[in-house]
Amino acid sequence: MQIGETVYRFFRVPDPSSAGENIDADSMPTVVLRRNGTTVGGASVTPTKISTGYYRASVLIDAAHGWTTGDTWSLDASYAVSGDSTTRCIGGGTIGPRQTGDGYAVLTHAEYGLPTIASSQDVSQNMLQEINSTTGETQSTVSGLPSASQVAAAVWAYASRTLTGIGSVGASIAAAVWAYATRTLTQTAAQVTASQQGEIIVYRSCTFSQEFTGLGDLSDASEIWFSLKRRGELSEDNAQIRISLTGGLERICRAEPDAGYAAYGDITIDDDGNGDITVELEPTAAALLTEAIEDGAYDIKVQRSSGRIDSPLELGTAHIRMTPSHAV
């Protein structure tokens, strides 16, 4: 999440008299945005009812409210059912570096010690100045030089990498290189590489967190399912992992998980217009995986508010691998 983006969080109001069912709140729930645990005054959080007992909250992370990189955000929803009030957190995260025109992060010098890069022209000019300072040659204009995103692509494709000896050019293009593809600290190097090649890897007992982007308009989505199976043609009951937007973890190792395990799986809509989502499986649930799978299949389906199911929005290759301490 970055400054200037809109947060979307879906939440349900459980029916206290019927386990697993939703119920409408007595009135429209209220949702509060907090920064570092403190309520953000003036932030306009909009709750919307999607279906019975199922709501969506949205709010802009507005720079006018003093957000900075590294701040934490959270949303607290308050509602009442038959007069009994409940307040709970429905989502949260950390504000990351901002994105700019060429698709790379503008890292603030105060936090990262790097210059602000206005465009790929600046990157190319800095490279040229470095060359001129070494060779003694001069050139007054920049033409035909690669853009920042092209430089980043070339760097990440290069066979050998080192963090030393890159000179001042490295400081100039660091933002573009590190922002070239989405990477999270919960992903292993193998997971990052696989996700860029249209496949995913889930490791037993490890956090699985995977972004899927460009799935199309999700503004009218009432349900989303992520399924991972040994073979794509198998039924949903045979899914090794099945996670839904409203129900959390629904299947693990082809079985319904024990009570309380639903919370260990989650789907978050990051951008409903573009169709960007994040699927997560917590280590507690991943520890239940007992079968290693190579070249399995995953898919993502969505149910619209009209009841229509669009299937699939995305298909791909999936692997489940045992960690060294759980080798089969």
- Answer left, alpha or beta for residue 275, where phi above 0 means left and psi between -120 and 50 means alpha: left
The residues of the chain scoring below 70 in pLDDT are 98-150, 152-198, 324-328
Q: What is the Cα–Cα distance from 295 to 11, expressed in whole angstroms?
A: 34
pTM recorded for the entire structure = 0.45
- Burial of 169-187, coded b for 16+ CB within 10 Å and e otherwise, reads beebbbbbbbbbeeeeeeb
**Count of residues in the chain:** 328
Find out whether 194 and 254 touch, Cβ atoms under 8 Å. Answer: no
Identify the CA nearest to 284 among candidates 260, 268, 300, 318. Answer: 260
Find out whether 269 and 246 touch, Cβ atoms under 8 Å. Answer: no
Provide the 10 A C-beta neighbour count for residue 57. Answer: 23
User: Which phi and psi (to 5°) does residue 268 adopt?
Assistant: -120, 130
Q: What is the Cα–Cα distance from 7 to 75, expressed in whole angstroms?
A: 9
Specify the CATH number for 6-94; select among 1.10.10, 2.60.40, 2.40.10, 3.90.25: 2.60.40
| pLDDT at residue number 10 | 86
CATH classification code of 189-326: 2.60.40.10
Side-chain half-sphere of 4: how many Cα atoms within 13 Å?
5
Residue found by looking up tokens 């229509």 in the block: 308
Same fold across 6-94 and 189-326: yes
Q: What is the Cα–Cα distance from 223 to 313, expressed in whole angstroms?
A: 13
3-state secondary structure the chain: CCCCCEEEEEEECECCCCCCCECCCCCCCEEEEEECCEECCCCCCEEEEEECCEEEEEEECCHHHCCCCCCEEEEEEEEEECCEEEEEEEEEEECCCEECCCCCEECCHHHHCCCCCCCHHHHHHHHHHHHHHHHCCCCCCCCCCCCHHHHHHHHHHCCCCCCCCCHHHHHHHHHHHHCCCCCCCCCCHHHHHHHHCCEEEEECCCCEEEEECCCCCCCCEEEEEEEEECCCCCCHHHCCEEEECCCEEEEECCECCCCCHHHHEEEEEEECCCCEEEEEECHHHHCCCCCCEEEEEEEEEEEECCCCEEEEEEEEEEEEECCHHHCC
| Domains in the chain: boundaries | 6-94, 100-178, 189-326
3-state secondary structure 288-303: CCCCCEEEEEEEEEEE
Peptide bond into 29 cis (omega under 30): no
| pLDDT at residue number 281 | 96
| pLDDT at residue number 117 | 43
| pLDDT at residue number 120 | 47
